[in-house]
Amino acid sequence: MGQETTTRSATGIPGLDPLIQGGLQSGDFVLLVGDLGTGKTIFSSEFVYNSAKKLGEPAVFATFEEDIASLKRNMLRFGMDFDTLEKEKKVKIIDLEALQGRGMGSNIETLLGASTP
């Protein structure tokens, strides 16, 4: 059998792509989990920002804990201007905490519906 080829999306994060076979598999949903303070937000923000800004790939960012205004303000301190990317329709940020009570099924539908910024 021949080796299956998959399309990969580069993360734009220096040093990471070679470690993960050229990037994340295109079309996959990626969920980062971990303890408080382990870098989930900064890692995912950098991936989403680089995908949209440097690589020209639209992205959706779903936050479960931090409200959107705080996320944007905090990431701006690291040079990531999500307001501009949203205005350019390159990124869509969804606050799933604000959707609490709608049920996981509704939240998944929201994510799937937002897959095109």
Please tell me whether the overall predicted TM-score, pTM, comes out greater than 0.75 for this model.
no
Token duo for residue 73: 């303000």
Note the pLDDT tens digit of each residue in 3-19. 556 788 888 888 988 99
Note the pLDDT tens digit of each residue in 44-63. 899 899 989 988 888 888 88
SS3 state of residue 23: coil
Domain 29-113 class? alpha beta
Would you state the pLDDT for residue 6? 79
The CA distances from residue 7 to 21, 26, 43, 83, 94, in Å, are 10, 6, 22, 29, 26
